[in-house]
Chains A and B, each alone.
Chain A
């Protein structure tokens, strides 16, 4: 399947992917409203986080593993592997907020929702026409969605 791969050699640590992610997952789809209003009101937050160590930066999000530890750990069946698309799908309705997946994920790619007893996880912008927002926004082509 096509996954989003970060390239740490050219990731410049600008965090624009995070802004794109917040916007793509907001109701308004408007960066200014998403960041200044919705972030506080309904807790929209980025599924992707840029980690830095010295000059090295890398933007990490769910890797949609072939054998996801989070799915195995999920006690409510909220996390499932979609056999067709290969995505690791999150069903918000089923999630009980037990944080089992958070602890199971070896990449630290799942975060707690800031306001609710839910998680925040990359959905590969499956319903966005141009593909993942982070990939489209990266100013240095450090994020690529491709088959590897």
Chain B
């Protein structure tokens, strides 16, 4: 095209329009927030600018005659194992802008996915499998510090009474929670949807670091409130609004840096909830400036416990990094009731691509090493472990629990349930699916009623599948699977990988 940088035509997608099917009804024009489709007044027909297409498939999904096909652009650079097209395009882009490459969603790069190399067991002959449709199956999960031992006293009539004082617990009907997605990064419609879905399911959703809108306090029984380094929207009422408090130290998609919410996403409601000026960028500091050691973390954990009168468990969320096991041990010793670990494939609304794709370690390895370390140190009961980052299906949940997780956080899956196609352009604030946007015109595309139902359906479906898999293994309670690595076998892993995961190779 004229008057454009020459590399503009190295775009990723091509919009193919079937001439026999297209009726020029302009539905695609109205749906595309990137203006890739447009009405050409001179030609009197709908045209497309392929360079603007982000591959979100919104037009394809809504085209009433199925006339649109979004394809990868079939234009290849000369084959080069080192200089793959994405690196060439990165350089062109940065040579034009001089800026950091921003991106959204979890990392798409080919980091080994250990879920795919782990296989589950099932009962045959010597131990009976259980049919969850005919027999009771327990998925109920309690998150929080469990006592070292239980002590009982006798009442006057001789019956036993629990003497041990139990720490506060979060009760979940499924070992699944909706992970932290702040109000601002996703819009209010989805926050209501998550809150309603969590309430209906009897699980929890996490507010993320953007505070909690007043109108959502009523869903408090199913809410975990998050305190991050920016302290957005944190005040006494907020800390007491939910059934758990989470200190966010790190995020799997961007370990070592804080949250980024561009000013365009800060509308009136977000500004009020976050307690920051309208339109100002919300950039969380990389560290918590009051946490420079485990002792500092201990102070913050107990400051939050004091503020909430020891009614709720405190979670500490960290990104999975090299020394994650030692860090987790410190966190538990600092008094955390829950350790949430977010792996390298965890999602984000905005992160520098280099960090998302290169910093951190896979959740499977982090989870197994943390669980093992806490067991070795005899403190595993003192905290629950929540695994986050790239849980794609119920089998991933089952494998995570067998590796030692108490529950899984899901976020990307929940967004896919409401339409997300992982185009990874969340940071633009123009999400055509109405998810990662606060533009009133776009946010409406998420009908809270529909979105809540889809999230409920997803978790219910996973629940059924988890029950089936448990039953197959001859277990009737999710508790029997926790850290039960004997139910896992590896395929195609090295000895080191199997050693870290604590699993045998298939056939052994």
**Given A35-B23, A55-B440: A16 in contact with B445 (beta carbons within 8 A):** no
Judge whether B166 is part of the interface by a CB distance below 8 angstroms: no
A141 touches B23 (CB 8 A): no
Q: Mark B437-450, 1 if CB is under 8 A from A, else 0.
A: 00111001101011
A12 touches B25 (CB 8 A): no
B447 touches A142 (CB 8 A): yes
Judge whether A100 is part of the interface by a CB distance below 8 angstroms: no
Residues of B6-23 at the interface with A, using a CB-CB cut-off of 8 Å, are 21, 23
Q: Shortest Cβ distance from A27 into chain B, in angstroms?
A: 16
A16 touches B62 (CB 8 A): yes
Q: Mark A1-35, 1 if CB is under 8 A from B, else 0.
A: 00000000111111110011000000000011001
**Of B26-34, B115-123, B270-278, the one with at least 4 CB within 8 A of chain A:** B26-34
Give the nearest-CB partner of A13 in chain B: B30
Judge whether A139 is part of the interface by a CB distance below 8 angstroms: yes
Q: Which of A15, A54, A55, A141 contacts B30 (CB 8 A)?
A: A15
B25 touches A15 (CB 8 A): yes
Judge whether B64 is part of the interface by a CB distance below 8 angstroms: yes
Q: Which of A9, A14, A55 has most B Cβ within 10 Å?
A: A14
Q: Mark B443-487, 1 if CB is under 8 A from A, else 0.
A: 011010110000000000000000000000000000000000000
CA distance A55 to B65 in the complex (A): 26
Residues of A within 8 A of B441 (CB): 13, 55
Main secondary structure of the interface of B (DSSP, over half): loop
Chain B contributes a number of interface residues (CB within 8 A of A) equal to: 19
Residues of B within 8 A of A137 (CB): 64
Residues of B within 8 A of A55 (CB): 439-441, 444
B444 touches A36 (CB 8 A): no
Give the nearest-CB partner of B31 in chain A: A14
Give the nearest-CB partner of A7 in chain B: B447
**Given A16-B27, A55-B440: A32 in contact with B65 (beta carbons within 8 A):** yes
CA distance A19 to B27 in the complex (A): 10
B444 touches A12 (CB 8 A): yes
Residues of A within 8 A of B21 (CB): 32
**Given A16-B27, A19-B25: A10 in contact with B62 (beta carbons within 8 A):** no
Q: 10 closest A-B pairs (Cβ-Cβ)?
A: A55-B440, A10-B447, A55-B441, A35-B23, A140-B447, A12-B445, A36-B23, A19-B64, A141-B450, A12-B444
- B interface residues (Cβ-Cβ under 8 A, vs A): 21, 23, 25-27, 30-31, 62, 64-65, 434, 439-441, 444-445, 447, 449-450
* Given A12-B444, A14-B27, A15-B30, 16 additional A-B pairs, CB 8 A: A12-B445, A15-B26, A16-B27, A16-B62, A16-B64, A19-B25, A31-B65, A32-B21, A35-B25, A57-B444, A139-B62, A140-B444, A140-B445, A140-B447, A141-B449, A141-B450
